[in-house]
């Protein structure tokens, strides 16, 4: 298994440019999502098992389809 970590940054439009989101597979073989606020150094982490990760990805796709 490769060690891969994706990093996404917020937008200036929503005043979230100083925030980033990391997505990675943790040591418990779960999907972890970490949101960092670079202004305050706050960090929030949530982890999902495989079943919940699949449901989450489906919901993301639904919400993206609703975007203009």
Tens of pLDDT, residue by residue over 2-44, are: 677 778 999 999 989 999 999 989 999 999 999 999 889 899 9
Please answer whether residues 26 and 47 qualify as being in contact, where contact means their C-beta atoms are separated by less than 8 angstroms: yes
Token reading at 5:
């970590």
State the pLDDT at residue 68: 83
CA 56 to chain centroid, in Å, comes to: 11
Token reading at 10:
């917020």
State the pLDDT at residue 50: 97
Residue 62's pLDDT band (cuts 50, 70, 90):
very high
Q: Is 63 helix (H, G, I), strand (E, B) or coil?
A: helix
1 pLDDT above the threshold of 60: no
């Amino acid at each position: 298994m490769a060690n891969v970590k994706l990093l996404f940054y917020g937008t200036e439009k929503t005043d979230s440019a100083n925030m980033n989101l990391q997505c990675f597979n943790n040591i418990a073989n779960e999907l972890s999502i970490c949101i960092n606020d670079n202004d305050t150094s706050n960090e929030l982490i949530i982890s999902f098992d495989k079943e919940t990760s699949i449901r989450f990805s489906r919901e993301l796709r639904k919400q993206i389809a609703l975007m203009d």
